[in-house]
Amino acid sequence: MSTTTAEADDDTEPPVVRRSRSSRREQRRRRSSTNGLPRPLLYATVALLALVPLPIGGQPDWAASLAACLVAGLLLGWCIIAPGRSLQPHVPAVLVVAALLIAGVSVWSLLQVTPGFLPEAWSHPIWARAAAAGLDVEGVVSLNRSASGEALMRLLAACGMFLLAFVLARREADARLLLACILAIITGYAAFGLVDQLLAWRLAEGVGFRSTVSSTFINRNHFATYANLGLVTALGFILEPLLRGRSEAAEEKLGRRIAAAITLVLEERRYPLMAAVILLLASVGSNSRGGFLSLLGAATFILLLVLLVSRVRPATKLWVILAGLAALGLVIWLTGANLLERFGALELEGGGSRPAAWQMTLDAIRERPLLGYGHGAYVEIFFLRHDVAMGIGVFDHAHNDWLQTAAELGLPAASALWLAQLLLFGLCVHGALARRRRRLYPLVGAGAACLVALHAVTDFSLLIPAVALTFAALFGIGCAQSTAKSRG
C-alpha cells in the first residue's frame, strides 16, 4: 500500500522537481568517481606516495620492490576498469613519442643482461677473461645482471607512477586534490624532520649527517630534493592568482596593490604559505648545497614563467619577486649558518672528491660510449676503473645522474631517455605559457623537472624511490593538464 502511495506521489511531482532530484543524484555519482573511476583508486595512489618515504626514502630493496608492485597493481586496476566505463583519456603525440623512447631504453636495458641476443663482441671483456679462468659464465654487456634488473624495475615504477597520475589528473578537480595531497605529504615529512632534529631523535639519518634535517631519509641531499619538490608545489599554489589576475587600473596606488597582494596571500593562500615556511626551514636545515642551488634555480625558472604569462602590472610582479627573495634571505640568515659554512668550505675542500669521480666516469664513457656497462652497474664500474692513488673512497653512485646514466646505458640509450624527459618538459612549459586556464599544474610540473634536473648534476636523488615517484606524480599531473582537452 505504501509503495503504491509513493509511486503515486512521485507521478504527481512536477517535472522540475524530478529533474532536480536526478541532477543531485548525478552530481553525487560524479563526486564519487575520478574520470568515471572509483575514488579509492586516487586515494590508494595518495596512500602509496605517503608510505614510500617511510622506510628511509624507500631505498631498501624490499621497499622499492613493493612500491613497484603496488604501482603496477594500481595501473592494472585502472586498465581493468577503464574499458567498462569507456574511459579514453586524450594522449598527446608528445607522450606517445616519449613512451616509445622509454620503451626502447627498457628493451636495451634487458638486452644488456640477456645472453645470446647481441653480438659476442659487444659483451664486456671481463666475461671473456672470467671464462678463460675456468668460470661458467656467459658474456653480456652488463657488469652486474641482478643490479641491471633492479635498476630497470625502479625506472619502470617511476614511469608507471607518471602514467597513473596522468590518467587520474585529467579532471581539474582531481588534479588539484592530488596536488594538494602531495604537498600535505611532503610537508608532513618536513615537519617530522624538523621535530626529529630539534628533539635529537635522529631516527633515520646517517652518522655523517647528525647536524642536519633529513627526516626519514638516510641522506640530506635526497631529503633536500624531496622537500624542494614540496616547495615548488607550494610556490605554484601561492603564485596561482598571478597566473589569472587582471591588470589593475593605472590610477590604483602602489600601497593599495601591495596591501591587496598581502591580503590575498594571507587569506586565500595561507595553507600553502604555511607549508612553504615549514618546507623552506627543512630544506635550509638539510645543509645541502646542491639542494639550495637547485631550489634557487627552479624558483627563478618558475618566477620567469609567471612573469611571462601574468597579466598583472610589472610593478606587482617586481614586488612579488622582491618579497620572495627577502623571505629566502631571512630564512637563510636565521637558520642557515651551517649551510653557509658548507659553502665557505668549498674553497678549502677544492670541490671535494666528487670531481674525481666525475672524471673517472667520463673516462669510462669514452671507453664504451655506445654500449655502456650495464644499467645499475655503477659500483662495478667504480671498482673496475678506480685507481687507489685517487683516494676518493668508494662511490656506489657517480653523484651525477647525467654521467651515471650515460656510463651505464651508453650514450644512445641515455640520449633517448633524456629526449623523452625533454619532450614532456616542453609539454609542461607549453601548457604553462599557452593555456588560459589551469596553468598551475603545468607550471608545477615544469618547475619540478627543472629542480631535479639541476640537482642531478651533483647527486643521485632520482635513484631514491620516494623522490622518483613523487616527481613522477607531479610530472604526470602537469602533463595531464597541459593540453586543451584536459577536462575541467
Q: Has residue 257 got a pLDDT over 70?
A: no
Average pLDDT over residues 117-125: 90
pTM, whole model, 2 decimals?
0.84
Looking at the chain, the whole-number percentage of residues with pLDDT higher than 70 is 72
Q: Return the DSSP state at 207.
A: G
For residue 214, what pLDDT band results from cuts at 50, 70 and 90?
confident
For 363-417, what is each residue's pLDDT tens digit? 999 999 999 999 999 999 988 887 664 565 678 888 899 999 999 999 999 999 9
Mean pLDDT taken over the chain: 81
User: How far is CA 403 from each of CA 140, 353, 357, 399, 477, rounded to the nearest angstrom?
Assistant: 22, 15, 10, 9, 28
The residues spanned by each domain of the chain are 43-480
Q: List CB contacts of 224: < 8 A, sequence separation 6 or more.
A: 283, 286, 288, 290, 291, 292, 295, 455, 461
Q: How far apart are CA 145 and CA 472, in angstroms?
A: 26
What is the tens place of the pLDDT at every residue in 5-55?
Answer: 444 444 455 554 455 555 555 555 544 444 455 688 899 999 999 999 998
| pLDDT the model gives residue 87 | 58
* Residue whose C-alpha cell is 511531482: 13
Residue 155 to residue 462: CA distance in whole angstroms: 10
Q: State whether residue 465 is helix, strand or coil.
A: helix
Q: Which of 433, 427, 438 is nearest to 244 (CA)?
A: 438
Higher pLDDT pick, 225 / 316? 225
Q: What residues contact 356, with CB distance under 8 A and at least 6 apart?
A: 390, 392
